[in-house]
Amino acid sequence: MKLNELKKGETAKIVKIGSIGELKKRLVDMGVTSGEIIKLERNAPLGDPQEYIIKSTGIAIRKQDAKNIEVEKI
């Protein structure tokens, strides 16, 4: 499944980060790597971006970019 398909409060393990150019490098620098656990904390008022918790840090990822991150629900 894709990261953008998670519901609020659900947790998943990152399986693969697709080709999203320069953003991929920035996400990896922030700890978004294969094998890490990520949780959807909340949505912005209009639904985009979404806030995720990874390694006790909140990061905002646009839904468009989250479609390129493959996860496995746990």
Please report, to the nearest 10 degrees, the dihedral formed by the alpha carbons of residues 20, 38, 12, 32 taken in order: 30
Low-confidence ranges of the chain (pLDDT < 50): none
DSSP 34: T
Domains of the chain with CATH codes: 3-73 (2.30.30.90)
**pLDDT of the residue at 51:** 94
Distance separating alpha carbons of residues 20 and 33, to the nearest angstrom: 13
Q: What is the pTM of this model?
A: 0.84
Quote the mean pLDDT of the chain.
90
What is the distance between the alpha carbons of residues 28 and 43, in angstroms, rounded to a whole number? 22
